Amino acid sequence: MAEGGDGKKEEESKKIVHTYPLVRNCDMVDEMKVEAMELCVTACEKHAANNEAAARMIKEMMDKKFGPSWHAVVGEGYGFEISYEYFSKSPVF
């Protein structure tokens, strides 16, 4: 019975690795979403050992195809925070 308990711990500690793109929420047009997913898969396969190069490739291609200001993050165990400041052009009285 001791072996059964160890087996559950091993299963719980296993990492889930997706071999396909997973999109939870997206507000892109379907055509853009499909292109973006294909680009991400291609970049990650081409640069499997170098996440930084994959992210750079994704960003550069998205900037070329859809205009500037794209951000790409590739890797494991990362976090990020986005903040902005809004400046009004009209004077405040």
Mean pLDDT of 43-53: 93
Q: Measured between alpha carbons, how far is 17 from 25 in angstroms, rounded to an integer?
A: 19
Q: What pTM value is reported for the model?
A: 0.65
Label residue 1 by pLDDT band (50, 70, 90).
Answer: very low
CATH number at residue 43: 3.30.740.10
Average pLDDT of the residues in 16-25: 76
Structure confidence at residue 76 (pLDDT)? 81
Alpha helical stretches, state H, the chain = 2-13, 30-46, 51-66
Domain that holds residue 58: 27-76
Tell me whether residue 58 is in a domain. Answer: yes
The domain tally of the chain equals 1
